[in-house]
Amino acid sequence: MTSVLTTQIDHFLAWIEVEKRYSPETLRGYQIDLTQFCQFLSDYDVECLNKPNQINRGVIRSFLGYLSGELNQQPRSVARKLAALKSFFKFMHREGVVTLNIAAYVHTPKLPGVIPSYLSENQIVAVLDRLGASDSWMGKRDLAIVELFYSTGMRISELAGLKTSDLNLQKSTVTVLGKGSKQRVIPVGQYAWEAIKNYQYATKHKFGVRERDEALFLGKNGTPLGNDGIRRRVKKAIQAIAELKKMSPHVLRHTFATHLLNAGADLMALKDLLGHANLSTTQVYTHVQVDKMKKAFQMAHPRAGKK
């Protein structure tokens, strides 16, 4: 049923798509979260759907309580949905639909520290060796995908959006379009370049010479390989080697970041490589440095209490 709030959600989604250049995945996430809020309101206080100014902090807190209580959602999911509401109410306030961005006054629930899942150096080598054993053009493609993820730490949407023209062989770099349509240039390692060149050679024999503005990674029919296809290939590759709760391409992004820090990379440099807007986002990876410091302390300090 159409209401003032659902109409505003449509306007908001169109705005973040056109003006903010958010990815299709982010758009879907916002749509799901805001639609769920409307469904909650239809039972909690249906008048709010057509009178957004009646939505107060109590209403939003009740929604958060419903998510964590009745739906048993994790704090991180609840926090994400509150962030969506804050962005949406900020938009409605700017458009004059509401007189106050009430969501801005609701505190985000404290999140537990979560160490991202990542592969050890031996595990990622095993994944790459296994993929490298294939002689098919799709096997070479999958190796190039995993090598590129591990070499650059890019996001799945960034890799899926790559065109042949984004590769710079002379400078050994790749240009990606990140969040908010921000471009960044990332160095690419020798092994990843070799995998990409072998894949391109194989696709040339399979599909002929391709234009520079065509998608880099292709599906079996020669059409661009999307996020879901990439996700399936990466999951299958990791699943054959390691047992992790999560086996998405983000595991390779975490692996890239963790291994760089483990080798002494600068946190600010890692922030730029990952395309993070704030250093606080990158600091989730400092668990590596903390573990190393603890080991050094236990080994060297005379009062560490080690047996």
Q: Structural domain boundaries of the chain?
A: 4-105, 121-293
Instruction: Judge contact between 5 and 49, C-beta under 8 A.
Output: yes
For the domain made up of 121-293, give the CATH fold: hpI Integrase; Chain A (1.10.443)
Return the number of other C-beta atoms located less than 10 Å from residue 240's C-beta. Answer: 11
Give me the catalytic one of 80, 179, 184, 197.
179
Residue 266 pLDDT: 85
Q: How far apart are CA 162 and CA 176, in angstroms?
A: 7
Q: Position of tokens 């926090």?
A: 79
Is 130 annotated in the active site? no
Give me the catalytic one of 155, 254, 259, 271.
155
Is 11 annotated in the active site? no
Is 105 annotated in the active site? no
Give this prediction's pTM: 0.67
Contacts of 270 (CB under 8 A, 6+ apart): 257, 260, 261, 282, 285
* Region at 120 (left for phi over 0; alpha for psi -120 to 50; beta for the rest): beta
User: Which architecture characterizes domain 4-105 according to CATH?
Assistant: Orthogonal Bundle (1.10)
Is 179 annotated in the active site? yes
Is 206 annotated in the active site? no
Q: How far apart are CA 83 and CA 256, in angstroms?
A: 27
Tens place of pLDDT per residue across the chain (307 aa) = 689 999 999 999 999 998 888 888 889 999 999 999 999 999 999 999 999 999 999 999 999 999 988 888 888 889 899 999 999 999 999 999 999 999 999 988 776 656 678 898 999 999 999 999 999 999 999 999 999 999 999 999 999 999 999 999 889 999 998 877 788 999 999 999 999 999 999 998 888 887 778 899 999 889 999 999 999 999 999 988 877 767 788 899 999 998 998 888 888 888 889 988 888 778 777 765 666 666 766 777 777 665 4
Give me the catalytic one of 81, 140, 233, 253.
253
Residue 113 pLDDT: 58
Half-sphere exposure of 287 (CA within 13 A, CB side): 13
